[in-house]
Amino acid sequence: MAESQAPARALPAGRTRWVIIALLFAITTVNYMDRNLLGVLKPTIQGELHFSEGDYGDIVFAFSIAYAAGYAGMGAFTDKVGIRIGLAVAAMIWSVASAAHGLVSSVAGFTVARIALGLGEGGNFPTCIKTVATWFPVRDRALATGVFNSGSNIGGLLAPLIAAFVTATWGWQAAFYVSGAVGLLWLVFWIGLYRAPEDHPDVTPAELAYIRSDPEVPAQRVPWLALLRFPGTWTYIVGAVLTNPVWWFYNNWVPSFLFSRFNVNLMALGLPLVAIYLMTDVGSVGGGWLSGRLIRAGLDVFTARKLTLLLCALCTVPVFLAPGVGSIWSAVGLIGLAMAAHQGFSANLFTLVSDTMPKAAVAGAVGLGGCISSIFSGFSAKLVGRLLDATGGNYTLVFFVGAGAYLVAVLAVHLLLPRRRAAVTGVVAATG
């Protein structure tokens, strides 16, 4: 019997795995809060320091290359030292780096601070995806990924609120100090609460059996370069290269787009950005839930993931209209829908890695793909900055590219993966 047609199992005793997801959600929230603060504060800081869009693109480029190195390096580091230490080290590095943004006052200073931030933040997603693969059976992984990944949207939501309140009260530097301190506080809870499922005192035998209930790809350790033998690695690389630059554009330039297009100040910018990230949060969880629901309905894992990816891609298309609308709330609706669709897309793209890889190689595979896509994102940021300087801040072409990138990515994923997951697990077993 195909795995997608397996009889439904009774709900397990114990919910410890969801406590772990709550911790991942919290640190992903901190990750994006730290990352997005500079974009939200850009109009304020840019007015004070007088740097150009090209300068800002160079700062984003520096972060992107460091993030690429952190993604690959921290992913491999986590595969070697384990989830608990791997994520703790990453969070400590980027929290200190986030606070350091408040100590600089030049383009060069922000560049150095963003490099340190990128090196640490690159460890978040490879380690979180590995954690999901460790704690959840296949049919629940996209939902679990969507839940923790929704923290990126909450982080984006909190960034403008913190920026507006703290900046108005104590100055923009204090916003970075607050965000760094929150990450260090999370670290205390993580070290105290995280253990592997088989070692966790709160995991019941029934819950552990549920976690281990699905046939898995073999658990052998895979050398880093050997990751390229697996279709899941290439699927993630290609999908991320095509879509992550668009996501980075949204996070780095949407506040500036709304600021310049609709002439709003930092305080007035807060509510539209909150609305965008609330929509994005729904997309993250909804995309993960949908593919899991399709699997439970009897579809093969890959068919369910691909159909969900296609629906998400279609939802990104209308964003090309955003630069031409006359109302800020119309633009917010279009951008929020596209960003929500990205997060649903991302949850399923991440999960395809854990669907197709040995658990011991999941963080390394996500790290490798994230490294490559971040390099592309960095160069795209340079291009966006220079394009905006050359066109006087015209965003039309950038939004048009973002509207089509996800459909191309869906086609690529469809061509790279076989029709059924069983074919991939057979290949993994043969190459082990």
Structural domain spans, the chain:
15-431
Buried b / exposed e across 50-71, counting CB within 10 Å, b at 16+? ebebbbbbbbbbbbbbbbbbbb
Q: What is the DSSP letter of 77?
A: H
What is the reported pTM? 0.78
Q: Count Cβ atoms within 10 A of the Cβ of residue 321 and give its class: 0-12 exposed, 13-18 middle, 19 or more buried.
A: middle
State the chain's mean pLDDT as an integer: 86
Q: Which residue has the higher pLDDT, 428 or 383?
A: 383
**Model confidence pLDDT, tens digit, residues 225-264:** 777 888 888 888 999 999 999 998 998 899 889 988 998 8
Tokens of residue 245, six digits: 């630059």
Q: Which residue has the higher pLDDT, 274 or 421?
A: 274
| 118 alpha-carbon distance from chain centroid | 13
Superfamily of domain 15-431 in the CATH hierarchy: MFS general substrate transporter like domains (1.20.1250.20)
